[in-house]
Every structure is written in C-alpha cells, then in structure tokens.
Amino acid sequence: MADKIAKERVKKILKILRRTYPNVKTALHHTNPLELLISTILSAQCTDKRVNQVTGKLFSKLRTVRDFAGVPLPDLEEMVRSTGFYRNKAKNIKMCCSALLEKHGGKVPDNMEALLQLPGIGRKTANVILGSSFGIPGIVVDTHVKRVSQRIGFTTEKDPVKIEFDLMAAIPKRDWIDFSHQMIQHGRALCTARKPKCPECSLSELCDYPNKTT
C-alpha cells in the first residue's frame, strides 16, 4: 500500500510540474552538441545568464572542435574569465576538444560511457548533453534539482550520483528530461535556497519540507 501511495504522490507532483512548466528546455544557448558541451562546462559555479553572455561572443570566434583544441590557452582563459574558475574551465575545454578529435572524429558522442571519459565531463554534464542534444533520457542533478528533490521527499541522499539514481527509480523514464528542466525552473522561481516561496508553491500540499515560510 505504501508503494502505491508513493507512486500516486509522484504522479500528482509530475502533473503539477507539467502544468506549471509546460514548455521546458535548457536555458543555455546553443545550436549544436559541441556548443552545449562547452556551455555546460562553463556553467559550473556560474549562472546560465552569464554563460550565455560569454558564449555569444565565444562561439562567434571559435566554431569547431579544432578551433577550441587549437586556440592558445591564455586566449581561451581570457574569453571565459568572467564565468569564474576560468583557468580550469579553459583547460578542460581544450583537453575535451582534443580528445574529441583524437577519439571521436571531432564529434560529440551520444552515449554516457564515452562522454564520461572526456576531460571535464561528469554525469551532470553528460545528462544535459544527452537529453538536450540527442533526446536520450537522463536526469540532471544540479543544485536546484538536489535541493527541491530533498525538500519534496524524493531523496535523502546528498551525493549527486545517489540522488540521480533515486530519482531514476521514482520517476518514469519518459519524464526524465522534462522533469530535470521543470525541477530546475521550480528551484529558480519558487523553491529557492534561502527564502523558498512556499505560500506561492503549487507543490506545497505535497511537500515534506519542514521549514515552510508563512
């Protein structure tokens, strides 16, 4: 009976998320898998708005895998400086693009195993690329998904990979891509880190979060 109740609760939450956020996609501007890969690397500890400002200029100068692999590191660092942690990000981008040339013919692979072997690519980045570029189901666990999932009782884990697998077990596979985007939007709009807007939240009655605002 408990499992049935839990499944019904998940269905209700998914229904509300679909109604509240009907047209969802990644906020990172891109026109191909390579641009999304680079944007996602740059998005670590940085807002999507800032990343989009940087890549708007970046992608007008560097367009191909070979361009990114060949650009002098100091030049790339300067181009991405405002995203923060720019030295490490620039290094990862160059190493990743070199690996794409050497192992994948300059193309971004469309499977998790191959993506995880690329420098600077973890499961979060891989799932963003697989879902948004190739339509392959996966759950992206960023800071918003982590926070909202914990608050609504979908997971008690803190490790992003363990959270991902908890969510994969709870959410139907067909919903994984949209669910990730919906949770991210919900975390940004209402279920914020410091002052969640619980009275305005459409999930309020289904939420296990104990410190609701009044």
Q: Do 117 and 193 share a domain, yes or no?
A: no
In the set 124, 146, 166, 178, the catalytic residue is: 124
What is the share, in percent, of the chain residues with pLDDT greater than 90?
91
pTM of this prediction?
A: 0.90
Q: Is 166 a catalytic residue?
A: no
Whether residue 156 is found in the same domain as residue 113: no
168 contacts 179 by C-beta, under 8 angstroms: no
Gap between the Cα atoms of 130 and 194, Å rounded:
31
Q: What is the mean pLDDT of residues 154-169?
A: 95
Across the range 183-210, mean pLDDT stands at 91
- The total number of structural domains in the chain stands at 2
* 154 Cβ neighbours under 8 A, 6+ residues apart: 10, 166, 167, 170
Same-domain pairing of 110 and 151: no
The answer to whether the beta carbons of residues 59 and 68 sit under 8 Å apart is no
Average pLDDT over residues 141-168: 95
52 and 124 together in one domain: yes
Domain harbouring 148, CATH code: 1.10.1670.10
User: Would residue 213 count as lying in a domain?
Assistant: no
Residue 212 lies in a domain: no
> pLDDT higher for 6 or 211?
6
Quick: pLDDT tens for 71-87: 999 999 999 999 999 99
- Residue 195's CB is within 10 A of a number of other CB atoms, namely 7
Rounded (5°) CA angle 185-191-194: 125
Give percent of the chain with pLDDT exceeding 70.
Answer: 95
- Domain identity same for 113 and 144: no
pLDDT recorded at residue 1: 40
Least confident of 26-35, 97-106, 199-208: 199-208
- Catalytically annotated residue among 48, 91, 110, 142: 142
Mind listing the pLDDT tens digit for each residue in 2-29? 465 588 999 999 999 999 999 999 999 9
The mean per-residue pLDDT over the stretch 98-119 comes to: 97
In the prediction, which pLDDT does 4 show?
Answer: 56
> What's the whole-number average pLDDT of the chain?
94
For residues 157 and 105, state if they share a domain.
no
The yes-or-no answer on residue 124 being catalytic is yes
Structural domain range at position 164: 2-24+139-206
Evaluate whether residue 78 is within a structural domain.
yes
